[in-house]
Amino acid sequence: MSNKQPYSVLAVDDNLLNLKLIEKSLSKEGYRIFSANNGPIARKLAEDEKPDLILLDIEMPGENGFEVISKLKENSETNSIPVIFLTGVIEVDSKLKGFELGAVDYITKPFHPLEVLARVRIHLKLSIATNSLIAGQAQKLKQVTEAQVAMLPTPEANPTALFSVYYKALEEAGGDFYDILNISDHITGYFVADFSGHDIKTSYMTASVKALLAQNCTPVYSPAESIKMINDVLVEILAAGKYLTACYLHLNRITKKLTIINAGHPPVVCLPVEGEPILIKSEGDVLGMFKDAHFGIQTINVSVDDRFVVYSDGLVESAETKITWAKGAESLLPIYNELNEVPFQDVPEVLIKKLFGEASMPEDDIVVLCIKV
């Protein structure tokens, strides 16, 4: 068995005697000690060594302790390290300022080595407990995310559906969702939805909607009947104020008919094999809000190799620039012109890169689904 690495403490003080006293009293108890006599060196050590705790003097030449902790908390590499101030100042205002900046405790000078040891132990225990709680919650959310993603169909598992997809959830419980329904050998349903809210309950609703789609999107029902029945159930089970925007495409590859049902969702983009890209707009009520909801319904003739792009509003909306999907959808038409020579398998990824580049991140969850007739 390998030996556990000792907990480490960074001691920061311009008084060499204080540093030696801290190092001697803590190292003999099994702690690994790093020492710094000024702020810049302390911050560099904190970033490089990632100590488990920092003992920080307030009154130092150059950067004082308040300036050091402010910079530590601004740095993502060091902002979670607990800081205990060492100070000869006992004024309440000074202590309150330290707590406001993120300190977890104070040790008043002149300090006794046993007090330093006791406070280090207490705050390391608190840090261990907090980190354990965070790790446990993160693991649970990761499992929720993995379960949600596992329910999303892949092109490889549905080769006859001829689709490609980009899916990105910005939070652990994503609000966007899509599904592929193999209704028959030549009829496929494509469903893209965006739930209101991104809480954990939303991720569990994904499974409910997936079950409703499987039960109701069958050859027995028309596309309009399928969506109406799904809406009737969602009205009953969704909490007050919860709903989802959705777009359902029902493609019959024998009759070359495509039925599009829009429930408060951005317009579908048609990339015809011949001609310019067009938006297929249909106004409709959202799903899950109204028992007598009205949905936008269009049935169009399609040709082999026509492509259709269905997406969630995160592709075109921006709260930062105050762009709604209604305006944003129109603005993308020139970009779709650039996708004529792009294989349909690559359309979602290429579109995302053209819009957001390699480094920037979208503001919301995104689903982009490209369908080929």
What is the pLDDT at residue 2? 42
What is the pLDDT at residue 141? 46
Residues in the chain: 373
Element (H, E) at 235: helix 223-237
Domain with CATH 3.40.50.2300 in the chain: 8-142
Residue type, 208: S
Neighbour-count burial for 225-255, b at 16+ CB within 10 Å, e otherwise: ebbbebbebbbeebeeebbbbbbbbbbbbee
- Looking at the domain covering 151-372, what would its CATH class be? alpha beta
Contact by Cβ (8 Å): 47, 71: no
Average pLDDT by stretches of 10, the chain with 373 residues: 71 93 92 94 94 93 92 91 86 83 90 91 86 62 51 88 87 73 95 75 72 90 93 87 92 97 93 91 90 93 95 70 56 85 92 77 76 96
SS3 of residue 353 by DSSP: helix
The tokens describing 272, both together, are 């015809």
What is the pLDDT at residue 137? 54
Q: Is 334 exposed, middle or buried (0-12, 13-18, 19+ CB in 10 A)?
A: exposed
Instruction: Report, at the CATH architecture level, how domain 8-142 is classified.
Output: 3-Layer(aba) Sandwich (3.40)
Domain with CATH 3.60.40.10 in the chain: 151-372
DSSP 8-state assignment for residue 315? G
Residues 126-169 pLDDT 10s = 888 877 766 665 555 454 445 555 568 889 999 999 999 998 87
**What is the C-alpha separation between 166 and 257, in angstroms, rounded?**
25
What is the pLDDT at residue 327? 59
Identify the residue whose tokens are 């689904």.
369
**What is the C-alpha separation between 141 and 237, in angstroms, rounded?**
23
The tokens describing 316, both together, are 């075109």
**Contacts by 199-204, CB closer than 8 A, 24 or more apart:** 199/173, 200/141, 200/144, 200/172, 200/173, 201/239, 202/173, 202/174, 202/175, 203/144, 203/145, 203/147, 203/148, 203/172, 203/173, 203/174
Q: Is the peptide bond before 40 cis (omega within 30 degrees of 0)?
A: no
Contact by Cβ (8 Å): 43, 68: yes
